[in-house]
């Protein structure tokens, strides 16, 4: 099967390309990696010609403008990149009879309730990033209405993984700065989610694809729920970093975008019946890579 990935240079895109290269169904030529040079969200009209030229049978749309504060400062650009561009890509795929998986986010929900969100719960985004991603889901669904090909929406949350500059990398750097300044490290204690390893998410998407079960809305997250502070604490325990954490509310810092405080996704079943593993185990797998990345950056 010929599978193309948009945003192939991004955090999830890299993991998808690596996992698809190992998947038996992508054949000898492997996946088709579309970086920003091939498919730029600011020039999405390129999609139709790209599909004609590369002839994918499935496209996984991982490209997005993921700078949530940037999206809040420029909501029009957020909609152009995350909604309009997704719609253009979806129409090109649906017209060509190509299946599409759109990667989306837990931030389509308001995070105001205490129980996890199922795929058919009513979305209500509270920031422009979430609103633009939800509109991307909806424009894609519109493009596939009545189409022969299938559309899957894969929502996820709190991604971590190479090449760095993710929450684990940033919190390790912050802990170092706090230690040098002789201050406690202040970490948000009232924002909850499921940290999800890009490698595991890529494998889960591949499982859905290889089972031919990609259509519909999927909630794909590692097992377990924690706060930002809980995530930091577990990371420090695993990395043997001694750091005193002071839990503070998310409202402590003024940001352009407000995160939903409890937009926790209820995981949907995978074809194997096995849930994605707990986030702590995934973090332990990632740790050696994370520490190597930090060492390389320090050189």
Number of H helices, E strands in the chain: 10, 12
3-state secondary structure of 143: helix
Contact letters (x/-) for ligand NAP, 148-187, by CB under 6 A? --------xxxx----------------------------
Whole-angstrom Cα Rg for the chain: 19
- Cα separation, 29 vs 20, in Å, equals 11
Residue 47 binds ligand NAP, judged by CB under 6 A: no
How far is CA 261 from each of CA 7, 115, 126, 133, 252, rounded to the nearest angstrom? 27, 12, 10, 18, 13
Q: Angle 271-28-30 (CA atoms, 0-180°, nearest 5)?
A: 60
Residue 13 binds ligand NAP, judged by CB under 6 A: yes
Look at residues 186, 191, 188 and name the one whose alpha carbon lies nearest to residue 243. 186
Residue 138 binds ligand NAP, judged by CB under 6 A: no
Taking the least distance from each CB to ligand NAP, the nearer of 23 and 78 is 78
- Cα separation, 10 vs 206, in Å, equals 18
Identify residues 185-244 at the interface with ligand NAP (CB under 6 A).
none
Residue 19 binds ligand NAP, judged by CB under 6 A: no
Residue 11 binds ligand NAP, judged by CB under 6 A: yes
In terms of DSSP bridges, do strands 159-160 and 196-197 run parallel, antiparallel, or are they unpaired? parallel
Identify residues 96-135 at the interface with ligand NAP (CB under 6 A).
103, 105, 133
Which listed range, 34-42, 179-187, 202-210, 249-257, lies at the site for ligand NAP (CB under 6 A)? 34-42
Residue 66 binds ligand NAP, judged by CB under 6 A: yes
Nearest distance, CB of residue 10 and ligand NAP, angstroms: 2
- Cα separation, 44 vs 164, in Å, equals 27
Taking the least distance from each CB to ligand NAP, the nearer of 159 and 175 is 159
Residue 232 contacts residue 246 (beta carbons within 8 Å):
no
Which of 5, 63, 202, 261 lies at the binding interface for ligand NAP (CB under 6 A)?
Answer: 63
Taking the least distance from each CB to ligand NAP, the nearer of 105 and 139 is 105
Positions marked catalytic: 129
**Residue ranges in contact with ligand NAP by CB under 6 A:** 7, 9-13, 36, 40-42, 62-66, 81, 103, 105, 133, 156-159
């Amino acid at each position: 099967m010929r599978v193309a990935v948009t945003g192939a240079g991004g955090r999830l895109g890299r993991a998808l390309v690596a996992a698809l290269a190992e998947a038996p169904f992508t054949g000898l030529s492997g996946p088709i990696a579309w970086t920003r040079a091939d498919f730029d969200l600011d020039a999405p009209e390129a999609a139709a010609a790209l599909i004609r030229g590369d002839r994918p049978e499935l496209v996984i749309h991982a490209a997005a403008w993921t700078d949530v504060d940037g999206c809040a400062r420029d909501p029009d650009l957020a909609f152009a990149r995350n909604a309009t561009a997704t719609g253009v890509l979806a129409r090109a795929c649906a017209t060509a009879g190509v299946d599409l998986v759109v990667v989306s986010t837990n931030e389509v929900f308001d995070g105001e309730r205490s129980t996890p969100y199922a795929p058919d719960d009513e979305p209500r985004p509270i920031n422009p990033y979430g609103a633009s991603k939800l509109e991307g889901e909806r424009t894609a669904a519109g493009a596939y209405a009545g189409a022969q090909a299938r559309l899957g929406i894969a929502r996820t949350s709190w991604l971590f993984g190479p090449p760095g500059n993710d929450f684990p990398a940033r919190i390790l750097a912050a802990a170092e700065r706090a230690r040098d300044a002789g201050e406690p490290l202040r970490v948000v204690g009232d924002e909850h989610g499921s940290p999800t390893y890009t490698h595991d998410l890529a494998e889960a998407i591949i499982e859905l694809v290889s089972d031919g079960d990609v259509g519909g809305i999927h909630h794909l997250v590692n097992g377990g729920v924690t706060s930002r502070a809980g995530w930091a604490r577990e990371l420090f325990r695993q990395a043997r970093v001694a750091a005193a954490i002071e839990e503070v509310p998310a409202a402590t810092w003024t940001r352009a975008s407000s995160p939903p405080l409890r937009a926790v996704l209820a995981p949907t079943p995978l074809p194997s019946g096995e849930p994605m593993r707990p986030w702590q185990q995934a973090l332990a797998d990632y740790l050696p890579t994370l520490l190597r990345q930090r060492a390389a950056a320090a050189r």
